[in-house]
Structure formats: structure tokens, C-alpha cells
Chains A and B, each alone.
Chain A
């Protein structure tokens, strides 16, 4: 029960069941499953191995991007560089011809190096120079977009056959994309129980209190950006594998959708409450929602209306649950 740091004890006193609902990914996971059921009922072919594989392949980049952004948001920060890092890593992967499994591994290392490098720069500017995260990461995002254009001026490039086929295929009958997502869930459930994970949430809940209780706030901030960068890089890497090509604008659609996914997962903007697992489900729900609306025959012009409304409702619902926790303490 101490995994949320400072106010965990008071939260626990306010009813563990509601608290668990708000803190865990249970809610968004339920929504995802209901939506999946609707999808399958209107489109029975959705259960074919090919459909399932392609659904997870399509969803994975956004899921990873949202997972990364969650690290920064949990400590109360903001990271717009997601769009820039994805564009940059995506084109680097697409123009670096390394064949075979070892080549893919080498490219993954390069990708992570770039992502964590940009994350470290973000961390230094925000935690070291005390510059507002939104403004600082806006600047690094633009720099990365420019760098992506230098690497590849127009959409093009290609990835090795290994990346294009093996990384988008299945292992032991389960799509590799799903394995990666599950690894993300497992990693988070371990991380949130470590000191670093507790500190992340404690800093997000109350910076002053965290600093007073001996947490190195600047260090926590710094590493949240570095982990975020690693996840963005992995997202861009998997995006390149999925599309078999690169684009200097690959990251642009991710800018808003990433934060929409995090919001849908119920993670509080401002920090201190939420989980990476919930964001993974939030992103998956967002992608599944598009498929469901298409299957239901909603004109693709108007899908944005429903997306926007669901985002607002999700935030309101999460706030409502919080309110219920607070008032539920009385009896």
C-alpha cells in the first residue's frame, strides 16, 4: 500500500477498493474489453489471427509513446518532445541499412541512444536550468523535427526484411507487439514498487514535501525524461518496422494522440496519480475506438467528434471517482 508514496496511507484509509479503481488500470481495461466485444460482434472477422496481429501492430507505437509520456506526467512535468523523437528515430532507422536479427538489435541500440539522449537533454534543461517543461520540450521537439528533416528530406528509406516481417509477426502464437506491451506492463509493476518509482509519484504529488523527505527531486525529474525518451525511441522503432519505411513527419500525429491516450487512462495531468499500464490501455482503446467506429459505419469525417467527447468524459469520470473516494470516507 505504500507504493504511491506520501499520501498512500491516507488513500488507503479512504477505502482501498475505490482507491484501487482510481489508481489501477482496471477501469480503462474494462472499457477496452467492452469496446473489443462490440468490435467483435459487429465484425466477426476481427478474431482472425491476421486481424489481431495487425490491430496490435497498429496500436503498439502509440501505446509505447503514451507509456513514455506517463513517466514525465506522473512527476508533474510535460514532454512535447515525443513528436520530435519519434520523427528523428523513425528516419534514422529507415536510412540505416543493417540486415538480419543482429542488425535489428544494433538499430534498436541506436534508437534507444537517440531517444535517451534527447531525454537527457530535456532533463538537463528542465531539472537543471529550471525551465518550464512545456516550453523547453517544445524547443527540443522542434530541433528534433529539424534533425529528422536533415536525415531524410522526404518520406522514404526502408527497413530490413527481418524487421518488417519478424518484428510484426507472432511469437508462440501471440503477436510480438502484444508481448512488448505485456513487457511494458510488467516493467511498470516492478518499477512502481522500487524507490525510484515511489519517488516519481511522490514528486508528482507534492514537490516540496518530497524534497523535505529527502527525495532528490531534480534527479527524479531528469530520469523521468530519460525513460520517456527510451519509450518514444522504441515506439518509433516499431513504427518503422510496421510501415517498413520512414518519414520525417512520422511523429506529428503522435503529439496530441499521446496525451489523449494518457488522459483516457486516467493519469492526472499535474502529476502524482496514474499508471503506465493505464496509459498503455488508454492508447490501445483510442486505436480500437477508430476501428469500432469504422466498423459501425461512422463517417470518418466525424470520428474526431466522438474521440474528443470521450476524452472529456474520461477525465470527468476519473475526477468523479476521485471525488467519490474523498466523500466515501465519511461513514
Chain B
């Protein structure tokens, strides 16, 4: 569909390269707009109450957004290759449940248990990826089915009540501060740096972009679209597992429904961040901005004491407005206007 809109709506004389460049810059305009919106919201919240807008509020927002950013990165990669990952909630639960059960409140074995859990999650992602690529099962159905199966296994494994505790080392890490900044925020910054390079600038990211833009062309260019797509699902599943491990360390225990609050927000963060839900367009910095925007909104609304109902409505409306404003056509119009200004 991205293709068809390109070939149908685009002026016939515009060469492919120019359109590509336009699209890239419209993505960066979207990203800048989102961060501007986040800053404006934080500053405006100060007008409502002097308790807001301070550094401690910013810290809270970053802290809470971190979990969403971790799982939204994987979601973004899957959406980039024209998929959707609905198994995220179950894999967050799996990560949390396995980490508390296996580590059982001790630090012993932390350094092989953690990679083992991430590997297990990644393998589940590979299963989803194989279903989507080799068996042509729609991503929505495949990841939903895998999610239901994984959740059911978590339920059976815990017999309904998750046991155990996270390793004290991880738990302390979630509370620790380094240079007056909470350790999870450092973790977030590092993750964002690595994720941005991986998605936007590495060979892997460029290939994923190519597959998302035009799978046939990517195949002609010698890229293995299947392997790349499968690895996107694997990364997504591993990221969800990581989110679960860290959430369990943060909350000092796992629950079976701990992943539920992240599935739809992970999709919303990616979409609000300016990625096309149809794939081929999107940046991780945009997704991070989307996650920050949603978290900022939620934080301010709960601090204002607004009821859950209005809070939810406003969240939905923000997503809707972001979708309408961040449409490609709007940017194309904006760009055309800017070019007109320059010429004039």
C-alpha cells in the first residue's frame, strides 16, 4: 500500500531518489515535532501546579518510559518489515516469570540465566518469524497465536501464581543512582543510542528498511527478506523478555498480567512516533519520542487527579491527533510550502 500510494499519488516526473529524501526528512520533522511537544507539555504542566515541570518529574517520566521504550524498539522493527507483534505482552510476562522463578532471589547464576531467558524469548520470536515468512501466516494471527500459547505456558508453569524474586543485584540496579541520575535512565540512554544506530545506521537496519520499503526489490538486490524478517521478530521477542526481566526487578516480583499494559502502548508509541504501520518508514528516535509523549501525558493526567475515564479518552485522542497531524501528505504539503518560501 505504501508502494501504491507512492506510484499513484506521486508526480510522475519526481525521481525516486527525491521522493526518498523527502520521506526521510519528513520523518525527521515528525521526530522534532514530537520532542517539541513533550518539552512543551512538561513546561505547560508547570503552569498547572508548581510541583510539576521540575527535574524530579522529568526523571519519573524517563524512568517509566524506559520500560515502554525497551519493548517498543522491537515492535518498531517488526512494524518496519510490515508486521505487527501481538505476542509482546506474553513475552514480557514470560521474561518476568522465568527470571523470578529461576533466580529465586539470589545472584547465583545471574550471568547465565539472563542470557538464557533472552535466548529463549528470541527463539520464540524466530518461531513467529518462520510462521510469517515461510508459511505466509498473517503477522497479526501468528503473533497473537504465539502470544496465547506463551501466556498459557506461563499460566501452567506458575500454576496461576508466579513465585520467586528477582536477583538482588538487578533489584538494586533498578534503584541505584550514578552521577545523581537513576541507573535505569542510563540504561535507557544506552539502549536508545544502540537502538538508533542499529535501526537507522547499521547495515542490518538499512536492510530492514529496504525489506519494509519493497520486499521484491530487496530480494532482487540480493537481500534475504525472510532471514531479515525473522530476525526482526527475534529481536522484538528478546526486547519484550528484557522488559519483563527489568519490570520484575523494579516491582520486586512478577505477575501474570504484567505485560498487558505494554502491548497496545508499544504499538501506539511506534505509530505516534511517525512510523507507518504499513512498514518501510520509521525511526527509533521517533518511537522514543512517542513513548515519552504517552508517558508524559499519563504522568501529568494522573498527577492532576483526573479520573481514569477522562485520562484514557485523552490518551486515545492524542494518538488520533498525532496520526492525523503526522500523515505523510501533511509533510509533503509542508515541504512544498517551505520550498515555495525559499524560492519567493
Asked if B324 contacts A131 (CB within 8 A), the reply is yes
Complex CA gap A138/B267 in Å reads 9
Asked if B323 contacts A136 (CB within 8 A), the reply is yes
Tier of interface size on chain A: 35 or more
Listed stretches B31-39, B103-111, B138-146; interface member: B138-146
Q: Is the interface of B mostly helix, strand, loop or mixed?
A: helix
Listed stretches A140-148, A170-178, A187-195, A224-232; interface member: A140-148
Asked if A312 contacts B145 (CB within 8 A), the reply is yes
Question: Is residue A270 within 8 Å, beta carbon to beta carbon, of the partner chain?
Answer: yes
Choice from A78, A136, A308 contacting B146 with Cβ under 8 Å: A308
Closest chain A residue to B268 by CB distance? A138
Listed stretches B54-62, B185-193, B228-236, B314-322; interface member: B314-322
Q: How far is the CB of A300 from chain B (nearest CB, A)?
A: 8
Complex CA gap A110/B88 in Å reads 36
Of the candidates A125, A148, A149, A208, the one having the most CB atoms from chain B within 10 angstroms of its own CB is A149
The B-contacting residues of A in range 258-285, CB under 8 angstroms, are 259-260, 263, 269-270
Contacts of A136 in B (CB 8 A): 320, 323
Of the candidates A138, A148, A151, A299, the one having the most CB atoms from chain B within 10 angstroms of its own CB is A138
Contacts of B136 in A (CB 8 A): 319
Mask for B302-323, Cβ within 8 A of A = 1, else 0?
A: 0000011111111111011001
Contacts of A144 in B (CB 8 A): 316
Choice from A207, A269, A301 contacting B152 with Cβ under 8 Å: A301
Complex CA gap A138/B266 in Å reads 12
Using known A-B contacts A138-B319, A269-B140, determine if residue A308 contacts B152 with beta carbons closer than 8 Å. yes
Contacts of A263 in B (CB 8 A): 138, 141
Contacts of B160 in A (CB 8 A): 301
Mask for B252-290, Cβ within 8 A of A = 1, else 0?
A: 000000000000100110010000111000000000000
Q: How far is the CB of A212 from chain B (nearest CB, A)?
A: 12
Asked if B320 contacts A143 (CB within 8 A), the reply is yes
Tier of interface size on chain B: 35 or more
Question: Is residue B148 within 8 Å, beta carbon to beta carbon, of the partner chain?
Answer: yes
Contacts of B131 in A (CB 8 A): 312
Contacts of A301 in B (CB 8 A): 152, 155-156, 159-160
Complex CA gap A299/B141 in Å reads 24
Asked if B315 contacts A316 (CB within 8 A), the reply is no
Q: How far is the CB of A261 from chain B (nearest CB, A)?
A: 11
Question: Is residue B206 within 8 Å, beta carbon to beta carbon, of the partner chain?
Answer: no
Contacts of A308 in B (CB 8 A): 145-149, 152
Contacts of A139 in B (CB 8 A): 268, 316-317, 319-320, 323
Choice from A125, A140, A315 contacting B137 with Cβ under 8 Å: A315
Question: Is residue B86 within 8 Å, beta carbon to beta carbon, of the partner chain?
Answer: yes
Contacts of B146 in A (CB 8 A): 308
Question: Is residue B327 within 8 Å, beta carbon to beta carbon, of the partner chain?
Answer: yes
Complex CA gap A134/B276 in Å reads 11
Contacts of B307 in A (CB 8 A): 149-150, 153
Question: Is residue A130 within 8 Å, beta carbon to beta carbon, of the partner chain?
Answer: yes
Asked if A125 contacts B320 (CB within 8 A), the reply is yes
The B-contacting residues of A in range 115-140, CB under 8 angstroms, are 125, 129-132, 134-136, 138-140
Asked if B313 contacts A130 (CB within 8 A), the reply is no
Asked if B155 contacts A304 (CB within 8 A), the reply is yes
Asked if A302 contacts B310 (CB within 8 A), the reply is no
Mask for A194-223, Cβ within 8 A of B = 1, else 0?
A: 000000000000011000000000000000
Q: How far is the CB of B162 from chain A (nearest CB, A)?
A: 13
Asked if B145 contacts A132 (CB within 8 A), the reply is no
Q: Interface on B for A, CB 8 Å cutoff?
A: 4, 8, 84, 86, 131, 135-138, 140-142, 144-149, 151-153, 155-156, 159-160, 264, 267-268, 271, 276-278, 307-317, 319-320, 323-324, 327, 329
- Knowing that A131-B323, A138-B267, A316-B135 are A-B contacts, what are 5 other residue pairs whose CB atoms are under 8 Å apart, sorted by A's residue number? A138-B319, A139-B320, A142-B312, A144-B316, A269-B141
Closest 7 CB pairs of A and B: A304-B152, A146-B312, A142-B316, A146-B313, A149-B309, A143-B316, A150-B309
Q: Interface on A for B, CB 8 Å cutoff?
A: 78, 125, 129-132, 134-136, 138-151, 153, 207-208, 256, 259-260, 263, 269-270, 299, 301-305, 307-309, 311-312, 315-316, 319
